[in-house]
Amino acid sequence: MPDLASSTFILPAGAEPTADQRRLTADMLAFIRAHADANPSAVYVLHGDAGSGKSAALAHVFTQLQAAARSADSTDPLQVRDNYLLVNHNEMLKVYKEVAAAEPALRKRDFVKPTPFINAMRKRRRKADVVFVDEAHLLLSQSDPFNKFTGDNQLDAILQLARVVVLVFDPQQVVKLKSHWDVGMLQRHLRGHAVREFQLDGQLRVQDAAVSAWINDFVNGQLRPLPKPQQFDLRVFDDGQPLYDWVQARDRESGLARLIATSDFPFRVYTDRTWYVDAGSLHLPWDKINFTDRPWAERPETLHEVGSIYTIQGFDLNYAGVILGPSVDYDPRTDQIVTAPARFEDSEAFRKHPGLPDPEAAKQAIIMHTVNILLKRGRQGLGIYAVQPRLRQRLLELSGQSIK
């Protein structure tokens, strides 16, 4: 792979895959070869938590697949195959196209968003050989005419348009009702297909096991005393301004430090207006639609913005300053995290999805999925500021700080 900036999910030049990733590569390629002419499609599902290296492994295997497809070895069953990698995430798609420009085995046309792929293949009345889907939990599970998808479910459409489908799936990263997925739903849609599953364990991004465990407890509603790691900078702040100052200092020292927040502050896309995040005495603009070819975290001007899941999901930071907005609170009676969907400002995330058995529970889950994604961005450090006073006070207590 080319040596891309370290905020991306691509393995840097000279980096070796982990033992799990090596086993995955061999297993996935063997599965693809064994089912190269499957009908109905065969499906390989890759599971793993945020930061477990799923996208890095997927990119590595896809590059090998395309090298085989474009090789001169006519004895390889993967030669002269029509393969694609889909991702329903604009920022990640930019990285894949950047990889394609520097990797001889790849072409930019190999990478596309799901809706254009579905519409193009249907128009041409063709079926692809192998289709990889990164962040498959972002596939639409209902019609979305605004994005020109008129079917009922993008996964069903892809299964009809490929012989082998490889899915990266993590239901803990579902962030919109129109992309609602859970394990049971995935299993129902894969009935009748040959399916193989692989679990990537471990945490490759957050470089401290105790911190990773603390975050997992937090997103499950449980508050524990903060660990005091030696090699990871974990802090709680009593105001947004010192959190921002900490991010600035860490960026000067190590680079790739950014401020990010839950979708709890007013914003509207496709407007000229600047929307702001207010966190105590801090007043900073939200990120804006990124029309450049560079990922948000790699652009120096974004050090003075607040990022969202739409610009940071799937990417690495060295240090993440996380603002937990008004929808994330604390109940002192139960000593647990609680959520308030009415305070969540991402109206698109909560757009109605017909058939959900418990829409309110689905909304609460989306809020905590967002928190999980944000808290697991930093490799070397995490700073937290909670807007809600009760949660902020409890976090300060658990960090051993005195309450002002």
Q: Write out pLDDT tens, residues 320-341.
A: 999 999 999 999 999 999 999 9
Checking if the pLDDT of 50 tops 60, the result is yes
Lowest-confidence segment of 79-93, 101-115, 165-179, 312-326 by average pLDDT: 165-179
More confident residue, 383 or 3: 383
| pLDDT at residue 356 tops 80 | no
Q: Which residues, in sequence order, are CB contacts of 136 under 8 Å at separation 6+?
A: 155, 167, 168, 169, 181
Burial state string for 153-182 with b = 16 or more CB within 10 A and e = fewer than 16: bbbebbbebbbbbbbbbbbbbbbbbbbbbe
Query: Tell me, what amino acid is at 192?
Result: G
At 307, is the secondary structure helix, strand, or coil? strand
CA distances to 236, 344, 364, 367 from 354, rounded to whole Å, are 39, 20, 17, 19
For residue 208, how many other CB atoms are within 10 A of its CB? 20
Hey, what amino acid is at 292?
T
Q: Name which of 43-47, 270-274, 302-306 the model is least confident about.
A: 270-274
Q: What is the pLDDT of residue 1?
A: 38
Place of tokens 């500021």: 385
Residue 272 pLDDT more than 80? no
CA–CA distance from 57 to each of 104, 105, 204 (Å)? 18, 16, 12
Lowest mean per-residue pLDDT among 160-169, 183-192, 195-204, 298-307: 195-204
| Residue 359, pLDDT score | 82
The pLDDT value given to residue 323:
98
Q: How confident is the model at residue 217 (pLDDT cuts 50, 70, 90)?
A: very high
pLDDT tens-place string over residues 227-267: 999 999 999 999 999 999 999 999 999 999 999 999 999 88
What is the mean pLDDT of the segment spanning 49-60?
Answer: 84
Q: Name which of 101, 171, 130, 144 is nearest 43 in CA terms.
A: 130
What does the alpha-carbon distance between residue 79 and residue 73 come to, in Å, rounded to a whole number? 7
Q: What SS3 state is found at 309?
A: helix
Which tokens sit at 237? 């702040």
Residues in a beta bridge with 259: 306, 321
Rounded to two decimals, the pTM is 0.84
Show the domains of the chain with their CATH numbers: 19-200 (3.40.50.300), 209-398 (no CATH)
- Identify which has the larger pLDDT, 180 or 122: 122
Amino acid at the residue 285 = P
What stretches of 8-139 show up as alpha helix (H) in DSSP? Answer: 19-34, 54-69, 90-102, 114-124
Mean pLDDT of the region 88-102: 84
Do the beta carbons of residue 292 and residue 340 sit within 8 Å?
A: no
H-run or E-run covering 261: strand 257-261
Among 221, 229, 225, 244, CA closest to 371? 221
Distance CA 267, CA 284 (A): 13
